[in-house]
Structure 1
């Protein structure tokens, strides 16, 4: 097929040719801009206005900078003008800005137009809007890497992100967790209630799981009723177990779907890199195998791929579960270690130490459960109980005539971070009848790493009310003399690790002597912990500035009844029996 022209018609005049070209450009779907050699706009077509939102009268006489989006640097425009100068044309993708302020992408072709002598007289710019094209491309990319039903990343995107996480974790000591969650008996639900109901359930599961994810994590659906979780930068494998537990918990509430109340559970498998490997596909298989182990164990639970790791984590989780039950049942008791005046030998107070009472009559040391209580936040309720019980018992002993003993109670960093600590403590003292002067709170140097302003405010308020403040384990953590000056600390406690080497270890002797000297200069009392021999006690007494001591040389931590009996017998340590 060819284009037949009527050669009998007279040639077009210059004006007719110009009008024809203007009509062609004005009806084009592409935007057209004509500028002078100085870059000022002389003419635009209708498509220019449709795309940019600018009417001709708003841009005529202006330069194309009126469309500048600020998404490109000066080098971009410098290369553009260099190409126009050298080649007479430039073509490429550029971001401009509409009159509305919206930035948009366009494909732009600029051509330099010379006259017959070669002198530049015009620039012709032709462009088309790429917004719809990019939107369609983004939609295609999204569909290629996301699940159509839930909108979650699919297997391809999950494996890609997992590969990136594994590469970034190498050499950094971080763990990467892969969790496989498979709904229990979902096929039965799907077959009995229909695929529409099944799709609604799957979408609801995705919505419930999504809030459990951190920004660096990925929740994915591979297809069917299997969901995979990528847990990046885990501090400890136990963190993955906590996520799995929360995932099971969030699915435990019934779903109401099309008028039916449906209960859904899941089986979860967990694998951890680098312990279980570094290959993304292998880790996915590991998690799936662990998930089937969870199903074989009865469903609605989780299992680890590595048996040893799984046993350790499961042990910690069982301990946490037992700890929660023990708090509800109040399966805790306080033991009291006497604090003895270094000069008189008189018991002046005691440190309250919590023990976990077991059904068989045994006691669990705080070293075995306090770190877990700190991590899980259970320390808040446990610490509240310890504080009240210690104050209640001390007030009772005072009422029984055993003396105005001062009880020392440890406060955890988590407790110090809680608003209203001072108010709750003073209310507790009033409730138990213990004067503030008979309570001392012990803090460790780790509080220096917390919100120092909040810690200082809380301790100062307690001190103003008459409560004593002691710094425990001084010298073992983040000691700073500036903090001793800023905090209302009345007592320094020398850690047992420094007392152990006395008097033979020269370093320990020097450290203890320095601590005692610092305390004396700051008008603070000193308590030596862990005194177990007469030689240690004699060394401390010779320093003259050590106020009191506690340790097995005099008494281990005692049950309340044993401590009361000790006080009833006089509550006195006879130095003559031990010192020569």
Structure 2
């Protein structure tokens, strides 16, 4: 009976070890603790077989006793293994110097080797000679080992336990985690109690019962300690989880984007405060409902359609823009629908970002870039775009098209006499009158100053155009009552026709301009139709064109350099190379006169290559002379970029001049940047990969669109001088400049303001974050010699 009781007790540590392994399998300490419990079970089996006299022979009992004695011996290195694990894997408050020397893998291996040696001596007569029976009356109660002369090894082995336990306590108190530290102290305290009780087995009179009691108490203590630790861990985990949940809820509610999670049936499982506000309700009220119960029919239908699309494909769905509402109440959202799996069921994560402000800011920039701020009419760039499209359409449909160029007569007198404010009011009123004279798809635009231009389409014959010109002259000549003054304004109109004047847009406009000047010559307040008889008026242009063909060979071109100033330091941070034509008879000719001719004739390609080469060569020469290493900006023509060998040309110029690509900026217009024609995209990206940087010149006057700024590797935006000119008096102009500068900063693009001519302009641009400045306030374009003098003597302007 005693044998079976001891046997049951022997299996208790093993059972507790298995239960512990199942319950706490995710804990790092579990394996080490289970090994200890396993050895203890084997140790107690060793004791139990000594009570097997009624079932087993003496020889069998002795053999099993020697065999199972490995449990008694291996418990000690397994305890050391726990201590080593704690030292190696758990965070300690501090580590004493001796710890790495005492607690390491080599010592662990050595201890196991010693234990094996001790175990092997167990099989010799010098270790254990035999087992002898202990009688209770006439019957054998149990067997007890008789130790040989090497019994001291077992005592020494027991002494190692004392050292290991002392070391274990010392390491355990340094464990940072309070819950784990408490468990370890209970564990090693239990082992101390275990051996304190079990040591009594050395007394035969105790009858080996103490080991069974010790094993049972130890197993219960360890399981109790594990359970207590798990309870504490669960409490800490729940507390941490609650804190994390609260923290995540705060983050979720603070997120400006509207976020929700719905199941496959569209029932809202969770949402943040922003989404609840979008529905016009609270978080608590929205959970458990479908969108048809919370939102308008328009919003609910849109959500259900996009939700179904994302869930059916189980792929992320990105919706860049959706409009909700109309009129002044309209808002725009960017939305992402992300299928996820929760609780083994498909759910949908919806993230909606309100982009209304960005949308309206983009529309404002887009509108301001294509419209005149004073008259609210389309500006030159939008007119050019419409004219180009209209010519293509007229050719395809074989329809008529006309351009009218209107210049107000003696408008300068109004500005000089009554002031610019009065002149601005006059221009606004004339703009309104002109707009009332045309109907869609016709267009009236402000060309600049006191010049207006009209595009007329879908008329049968030139007589209709002439009739409209007469009506316009009558309308604008009606008396104006402004600021207590009554005055009269007249205008001169030039008319060009397509297909009669079958020319590109720029020449069609030029013909209308020539006809307008002819109207002024004839006494003003009338119109003139461009006819072949007026060709002589353009003879000067033809002569200019002929001279232009020879100018490059005769070395009549030169470059002038205008410094680009760092807004904060006032130092020269770069320069723009500007092309000039010094005609042997006419003298210096403005680029505004010869560049359009060069563009039309294609001469701009060789001229542009010469300018690029000359700018790179001069920049390299200044660098080699020890002057400041500045980057040079060179303007590019659309024709240059569209040439098939454009990239090879730029590469060859850099190789020939020796200029590092990092010192070259190529300036292109917005219209060139977004065409997508002739592999413009790939050419620009190819040059950027070499280190060349690109600037968008005259920013805001072309097809301004944010998308191309993201698509192209643009380094610099150059604000057109027209935006800078009126910032002292025009508040709308200031708003546009702020928007452009903010846009550039958000895209991490450098910005240069052109045409800075006054201190007020300079101060405004500096205050609002404009990086660099360029204009006559600092310096006009200079010859090579004069620019070099500035670099040598005074590279700082303010």
Please tell me the TM-score bracket, short chain as reference: 0.3 to 0.5
- Report which of the two has the higher share of strand: 1
- Report which of the two has the higher share of helix: 2
Task: State which structure, 1 or 2, has the greater radius of gyration over its C-alpha atoms.
Answer: 2
TM-score of the superposed pair, with normalisation by structure 2: 0.35
Higher relative contact order (CA 8 A, sep 6+): 1
